[in-house]
Amino acid sequence: MAPAAGSDNSPELIYGLHAVREALRAGARPLQRLSVLGTDRQFGEIVRLAREQRVPVYVEPRVALDRLVPGGHHQGVVGFVAAKAYAEPEDILASARAVGHTPLLVLLDGVEDPHNLGAILRTAEASGAQGVFIPERRAVGLTSVVAKASAGAVDYMPVGRVPNLARWIERLQSVGVWVYALDAEAPKSYTQLDFRGPIALVFGGEGKGVRPGVRAACDDAAQIPMLGKVSSLNVSVSAAVVLYEAVRQRREGGGGTV
């Protein structure tokens, strides 16, 4: 196991057929993703173990794996080690709905910058949110950089990965959670939303925002008014602004504890 070549911010990697297979079997060090040359017989068991543990599997050319571990004997398989284990989404939801809690949850649609994810985890933990959900693909996972940027919050904030955000939104709605998207094109301000009840907030990735399919699944959408010349805020700043509006409303409106 070793960091990938390049910088201190590179992910910790484990590579080679035996090392990756045993890591998946033991489960002591969770993997956030797996890169393999193929899914044929040689890699079949590893791919099966990864999918059973909901570890995303990416088929990539040899040159990509060689670039990850230059000089390393990767045997066609490289695993990216997560900084902590992911929580089961249903467990997060059950905890958020426990007696005495009013759900306050965060969904991130394609956040790819580890510093942004770390900052959001820090704010989510500080504001009393019970959990954060990220998609299994096209998003940064719980890397060591995320852990550092969270300033310790990663150890306290449950993070769950879901295969499909739109379907997970439907699941939240089925148990009475209202889901609001932050969308720069929305007609209303975020201060016009009612955050006192059970809610989940959806924030989009850098540059792209919330995808149309995810936005359509939400109950409502709002924007943060931009009064200067720039058109948007960093996603981690947006999350902080809106989460603390939820804190304010709940404290002033007697909407239960988060």
Could you tell me the pLDDT band of residue 254, with boundaries at 50, 70 and 90?
Answer: low
Q: Which two tokens stand for residue 34?
A: 């797996």
CB-based burial of residue 168 (10 Å sphere; 0-12 exposed, 13-18 middle, 19+ buried)? buried
What integer pLDDT is reported at residue 232 of this predicted model?
80
**pLDDT of 9 above 80:** no
**pLDDT of 167 above 60:** yes
What integer pLDDT is reported at residue 10 of this predicted model?
58
Domains along the sequence of the chain with CATH: 2-81 (3.30.1330.30), 89-253 (3.40.1280.10)
**pLDDT of 138 above 50:** yes
Percent of the chain's residues with pLDDT above 70: 93
Region 24-32: what's the mean pLDDT? 82
Question: 0.85 exceeded by the pTM?
Answer: no
Q: Which two tokens stand for residue 257?
A: 């504890």
Strand 77-81: give its sheet, edge to edge. 2-3, 12-15, 77-81, 31-36, 57-59
**Do the strands 31-36 and 57-59 form a parallel or antiparallel pair, or are they unpaired?**
parallel
What integer pLDDT is reported at residue 57 of this predicted model?
92
Tens-place pLDDT, residues 101-116? 999 999 999 999 999 9
**pLDDT of 207 above 90:** no
Q: Which of 39-43, 127-131, 240-244 has the lowest mean pLDDT?
A: 39-43
Tens-place pLDDT, residues 35-62? 999 888 889 999 999 999 888 899 999 9
**pLDDT of 77 above 50:** yes
Task: State how far the Cα of 191 lies from the Cα of 201, in Å rounded to an integer.
Answer: 13
| Contact in structure between 120 and 132 (CB atoms under 8 Å) | yes
